Structure 1
Amino acid sequence: MTRGGRDKLREDPERKCIVSGESQPKAGLIRFVIGPDQMVVPDLLGKLPGRGIYVSATTAALDRAVKKNLFSRAARQPVTAPEGLSALVEDLLVRRVVDLLSMARKAGSAVCGFEKVKDWLVKGQAKVLIQANDGSERGREKLRPPNGEESLISCLSAGELGLAFGRERAIHAALAAGGLSNRVVEEAARLAGLRGADGQQVGELIAGKDTKDA
């Protein structure tokens, strides 16, 4: 099992990052296409028409791709990248993770709140534990990921996590097993890559600010 509880897939297709030149599973890359106006367009769902251009899901890789004009080189034509591309992709990924979590909640595959999450963990119903990166360290330590740090997502803030559950804030949430949960984990891993080592990771407990648990 990979970071955040994502199951390894032997047949996971690989693509080459235009920055590193290395091939890696598509799950760890951001796909881009070139629009009709020669603008670089993020394609998180991988469904837009056109030849895909792939960049590792890190801010450093995206910024380097823009700075070194690597999109034009990969496209073999002059193209333009949107200003603040890495921030744009991060915002899109946050929205994607929140939307998927909301879908999981409506499908009965996700819960939030300390007591509900604790109950799922005790019963073995939780596959992945989600904890806001700005929740209190004391409150977060009371709950442990079901399969160690590999089954923890902590790349969202309490406000972002709350959006998925119709709350102003949420600190603790849990995912049950299932295809939808796997999609949450996969997108959260890409978001964690973009947010780097600033205390926002998938598969790693990080101390946060001392705020009230939700």
Structure 2
Amino acid sequence: MSSPYTSPELEQANIKLPRPQRKCIITGEIADKAVLIRFVVSPDGELVADTGNKLGGRGVWVSAVRETINQAISGNQFSRHLKQTVRISDNFLDNLDRRLADQLIARLSMMRKVGVLVAGGGKLRSQALLSGLLIGDDASPRETQKLVSGCRPDWIEKGIPSVWLGQVSGSTSVAYAGVLRSASSAERRLETLFRTELRRWRGVAKANDKR
């Protein structure tokens, strides 16, 4: 199964992609690294997801889709392509799901820390224009329509876990967060990284967690 988040779809969503491309060992698809995950072997022979693309050693790339990664596991493709016996834990995919989610929460926290993320529908009503709008999974359709009309965001990401938005805002749950427009290249990069990482998480998450 090929990645549901191909380069054209990301570009249509106004996401500027990194240039380097890699080939998925299962689908044969050549795609931007943003829609793939790199895997390496630890010194003790265990499979590790190099989600930050920073680990040394021989690595292989697989589309960020749960079914595709599972196919690589069940077909012993990691051992074959990494050219050594690889140990894979029974809960490997669930752990990867949680790891990608933790990275997203950390990214949201950083965006809030530098001042480009504003949480809460009340605060967003005073924002004339937004770069992006994050809509929580328990948001009201009526309130969403009002915010979209008033803030006119360039892009919208729906179904963000409201507990994530609450966690980075010091609350139990928050239905909306807005990404402010910024002239800073570093702040715009945070925005781009969040959106591409969100797509990777959605590809790997269990069906009932993808939202």
TM-score (ref. length: structure 2) = 0.82
Counterpart check, 1:40 vs 2:85: no
- Structure 1 position 143 matched with structure 2 position 147: yes
Distance 1:136 1:195, change over 3 A: farther
The one-letter amino acid of 1:2's match is: L
User: Any stretches of 5+ residues in structure 1 without a counterpart?
Assistant: 202-214
Deviation, 1:115, is 1.9
Which 4+ stretches in 1 moved above 4 angstroms? 3-6, 196-199
Q: Distance in 2 between matches of 1:90 and 1:194?
A: 6
Give the match for residue 10 of structure 2: 2
The answer to whether the Cα contact below 8 Å between 1:127 and 1:146 also exists between their aligned partners in 2 is yes
CA contact (8 A) 2:104 2:194 kept: yes
2-structure distance, mates of 1:196, 1:141: 28
Q: Which residue of 1 aligns with 2:23?
A: 16
> Is structure 2 residue 102 aligned with structure 1 residue 92?
no
Aligned to 1:8, what secondary structure does the other structure show?
A: coil
Q: Report the equivalent of 1:195.
A: 205
Cα RMSD for the two superposed structures: 2.3
CA displacement at 1:25 relative to structure 2: 0.4
Identity score, percent: 31
Structure 1 length normalisation: TM-score? 0.81
Work out whether residues 40 and 48 of structure 2, in 8 Å CA contact, stay in contact via their aligned partners in 1: yes
Alignment of 1:174 onto 2:178? yes
- Tell me if structure 2 keeps the 8 A contact 1:4–1:153: no
Q: Which digits, 9 at most, give the CA deviation of each residue in 1:18-44, with x for residues without a partner?
A: 111211100001111110111100111
Contact 1:30 1:43 in 2 (8 A): yes
Q: Give how far 1:79 is off.
A: 0.5
Per-residue CA shift, 1:58-110, capped at 9, x if unaligned? 11111111111111111011101222222111111111011011011010010
| Structure 2 portions without partners, runs of 5+ | 1-8, 182-187
Instruction: Tell me, yes or no, if the aligned pair for 1:155 and 1:191 is still in contact at 8 Å.
Output: no
Match for residue 134 of structure 1? 138
- Aligned to 1:186, the other structure's residue is in SS state helix
Please, which of 136, 159, 163 is the counterpart of residue 159 of structure 1? 163
Decide whether aligned partners of structure 1 residues 42 and 4 sit closer, same or farther in structure 2, where only a CA change above 3 A counts: farther
Q: Is the 8 A contact 1:5 1:128 kept in 2?
A: no
| Other structure's SS at 1:134 match | coil
Q: 1:199 to 1:40 in 2, by over 3 A?
A: closer
Shift of 1:140: 2.8
The 2-side partners of 1:183 and 1:131 are apart by 18
Higher relative contact order (CA 8 A, sep 6+): 1
User: Partner letter of residue 194 of structure 1?
Assistant: V
Q: Which moved more, 1:90-99 or 1:128-137?
A: 128-137
Tell me, in whole angstroms, the C-alpha distance in 1 between the residues paired with 2:42 and 2:209: 35
Q: 2:81 aligns with which of 65, 74, 91?
A: 74
